[in-house]
Structures are given as C-alpha cells and as structure tokens.
Amino acid sequence: MVSDRTRTDLDNDRMFQLALTRLLEIIGEAAARVTQAGQTRYAEIPWPQIVSTRNRIIHDDDTVNDDVVWDIATLEVPALIVALERALPGHVS
C-alpha cells in the first residue's frame, strides 16, 4: 500500500490515511489471535508490540500519530513480512 507513496500523501489523502491505519489494526488483530505457543515458537516476531499498536489505534484513534503510522508501515511491516516468510515459508504472499 505504501509503494510509490510518500509521507506527504498520508497527510493529503484522508482515504489513504484511514486505509493504512485500518491495515495496521488488522495486523494487530491477527497477531492477537496467535496462540501463546505460536508466539513462543516465533519469538523473533514482536507480538506484544504489534498487539499494543493495534490497541492504541483502536482505543486512542483521536491521537494517532501519522509519523508513527508511516514509520510502522514503511519500516516495521516490511521487516515483519520478512520474519513471517522465514517462519511460515509458502504461507505468506
């Protein structure tokens, strides 16, 4: 979603802002559903931080920091995808 987009796009495109924030919520919700055994097995993935981010977005949506959203989407999510691809080869696309 952030390919060919800029941080300025996030400021100027409310639909993009809402969509990107929603995707982070979905990632956090999915992480919250990973069993404790799964979290332990794939301890290199920062499960608590992912869930915590989701909780902050959901419960403090009026104070969501767009700089943080952008950094998560452009820096953290790509690293998460790499970690998931290593942990679950053939299951992440």
For the segment 44-61, what is each residue's pLDDT rounded down to a tens digit?
999 999 999 999 999 987
- Active-site entry in 14, 54, 56, 91: 54
Instruction: Express as a percent the part of the chain with pLDDT over 90.
Output: 86
pTM for this structure?
0.88
Question: Cα separations (Å) of 62 from 3, 5, 10, 25, 77?
Answer: 26, 23, 16, 14, 22
Give the residue among 13, 14, 10 at the shortest CA–CA distance from 69.
10
- Active-site entry in 7, 59, 86, 91: 59
Distance in angstroms (rounded) separating the CA atoms of residues 7 and 42: 31
What are the tokens at 47?
């499960």
For the segment 62-83, what is each residue's pLDDT rounded down to a tens digit?
788 999 999 999 999 999 999 9
Residue 91 is a catalytic residue = no
Residue 59 is a catalytic residue = yes
* Total length of the chain: 93
Specify the pLDDT at position 60.
83
